[in-house]
Structure 1
Amino acid sequence: MTSLDGLSHVRLDGGVLRIAIATADNGTSLDSTGVNQGTTALRALAAGEIAAGAVLLVGDGGNFCAGGNVRAFAGADDRAAYVLGVANELHEFVRALAAATVPVVAAVHGWAAGAGMSLVCAADVAIGGASTKMRPAYPGIGFTPDGGMSWTLPRIVGARKAREIILTDAILDAEEAVRLGVLTRIVGDDDVQAEAMTLAQSLASGPTSSYAGIKSLLARSEESSLSDQLDAEAASISAAAGGPTGREGVDAFVGKRKPDFSSAR
């Protein structure tokens, strides 16, 4: 196994790969160190060099992520080249998140703006607080989206609503974000990270191969016909039934006991 020593923004906690994508040090704007270390850790996870059953995205500071560091954009000698580099780093992280076969949970406290909102949309589950707010933020500085927002948001809220949200630079409060499906749950403001970690740890102890199959099916569903998706589901559920995780789940159900999926990995 590869150690995560030296990765200041990444740690393993109870089977959960915790990645801080923003810190108080830079006003909770997107932290390039966290993004790059997160990409490194996710690639190590995919390669089997580290073991984790879930990924947790957090912001260490007053917000989940307040967006890109606009002051850094302004100070760059070549703004176009600088922003391209930031976007490319973020996009490698988003690609690594999308490739993760384990569940990805976002703990969304405070603001999730710009790239922060994009990363909320990239998660499988997003838990917010009563005061959580989201905003595309790109039109406000004359930019266009990055971090996959132009791809993920229409798939969450629908194409027309996504156009309205991004073009008008709409601010979504927590209740509206849950109604639209951008957030999946609201808890108390002080409980966001604890609740998200509890969920991530619960998922990490669950049927990992089942989650991988579920994520694979969901990922291909957008491009598949119903008939093709039915064939994929049949193949996937058959493989699950014959595998150790599916065997343990069925045997536990019949035996009226709680399944121990850790023993089936």
Structure 2
Amino acid sequence: MKTVILIPARYASTRYPGKPLAELTQRDGTRKTLIQMTWEAALQVPDIAATYVVTDDDRIADAARGFGADVLMTSSEARNGTERCAEALAQIDADLIVNLQGDAPLTPPWFLTALIERMANDADAQVATPVLRCDAKTYAMFVEDRKADRVGGTTAVFDRNRHGLYFSKEVIPYIDPGKLPDPIPVFHHVGVYAYRPEALRAYTGWPEGELERREGLEQLRFLENGATVACVEVDARGRLFWELNNPADVPRIEAVLREA
């Protein structure tokens, strides 16, 4: 399959305006923007035909071109990364589109490779997305965010075929805090998607759903319209994975970068 990576990035984030241009301190003390780090992560994925930053904002586009990225400009009408990727679809030729959102610079390349392999071998899947079993540290971060009334990462539940049942910003399934099992049955949803082109085209024809609107999770539109979303369990191989959802996540990610 001819696979293209798209990195949708918007400036007007509700929780963190200007997030793609936020600078993070690297292990060597230098600073890089979130969008540059995500671009460099995408370049580590093998057998990709092309990689583009996709945005409607000239500030992001200029910054991306400044570090050598190819850029696709879209309108400001896109409400989420999937809609932005669907709009960019008209400008590219691909059999599979991977959406590596611009707030996940810690995404290892093998996460994306696992999605591509799943889409090649699961004819029923219209979309694939990674899930990562929580260790005690990550689970504690989820619980800490909810106690502090912060909207942090997303959790996922799926059926026996690893097809998604639901995604939520709440921590699901519920666990009795006095009986934390091992392994922990909570899966962190990694905000990366692989789509077949026809799934992206269908997405833009569906109205925003009630669950999507309440949770603020774009992938729920697929589930609300009966599309099959394959949840691909991945292994972090000892790394801590976390997205940059709020300003409070900056020190968490910088701590991981220092330990890399």
Q: Is the shorter-chain TM-score for this pair beyond 0.5, marking a shared fold?
A: no
TM-score category of the 2 structures, normalised to the smaller one: under 0.3
Question: If each structure's helix is expressed as a fraction of its own residues, which one has the higher value?
Answer: 1
Q: Give TM-score, length-normalised by structure 2.
A: 0.27
Specify the structure having the higher radius of gyration (Cα).
1
Question: If each structure's strand is expressed as a fraction of its own residues, which one has the higher value?
Answer: 2
Higher RCO, 1 vs 2 (CA within 8 Å, ≥6 residues apart): 2
